[in-house]
Amino acid sequence: MSTAKKRVTTRTLIKMKQANEPIAMITAYDYPAAKMAEAAGADMILVGDSLGMVVLGYDSTIPVTLEDMLHHTKAVTRGANRAMVIADLPFMVAHLSRDEVLKAAARLMQEGGAYGVKLEGGREIIENVRALTQAGIPVVGHLGLTPQSVNQLGGYVIQGKELAAAERLIEEAQHLEQAGICALVLECVPEELARLISEKLRVPTIGIGAGRHCDGQVLVYHDVLALGGEWHPSFVKVYRQAGRMMTEGIAEYVQEVKNRQFPQEEHVTHLAGEIAEQLYGAKEGATA
């Protein structure tokens, strides 16, 4: 568990990369999760648009709106004081006009309290990334498997396996760095490619399904704790079966209610004897 006390900043991330100190990032979507991530020592908390799938019940991230992201970002930033909170710009926002992208990012920072924003994409969003960073907004890039483009990509598949695709990802990572990003998420790319990109960039890389050589790792909170059922992606390690434990606890509560085992004496309060007598007497008199 990290013992660092100072708030994590973009300078912190650069120093961690230079010192070869791994960066631990995890998603959170509400106040309790943010409190737990902070207490556990996470360096970065991502309010991901993955909330659409693990919190809101959608089958992809595409339906998530800016208002959804604002709502959850506000909750997370109330629970995080040291960790850097990054909020996703939802579907299509990164591709809108410069002014609309700036306004959306500004809302996530001003209203939501986020430290910065994350955008999916490469060369097609470079100018908007540059506009954001020139406006003083910390930006985390995202290459490889970009869930907002899952329909265009043809599903959740590994990216950069062919030479041309790998070279394109390297080029786009360098362009994003030149545009001013403070970190880069690499999702579902081969380990060797992620290592090469990490070596070429001055800013840290954060891997998810990208192997062991990124400067940090990020996983979804619900995957780490098995809160979404038994299935999880192959690159995920489940650290606790919290979902199973919670289901068992709720089932036990339901059964005790059904059997009138809850509440018991220690869970109730009582009126003073004379008050109870007066109330019952008054009730009896009213119904006589």
Residues 100-145 have pLDDT tens digits of 999 999 999 999 999 999 999 999 999 999 999 999 999 999 999 9
Torsion of CA 63, 60, 172, 8, to 10 degrees: 80
Q: What angle do CA 115, 117, 123 make, to 5 degrees?
A: 145
Confidence of residue 281 (pLDDT cuts 50, 70, 90): confident
Specify which residues 40 forms β-bridges with: none
Q: What is the pLDDT of residues 62-106, one digit of tens each?
A: 999 999 999 999 999 999 999 999 999 999 998 999 999 999 999
Structure tokens at 16: 């961690």
Q: State the catalytic residues.
A: 187
H or E element at residue 79: helix 66-79
Helix (H, G, I), strand (E, B) or coil at 271: coil
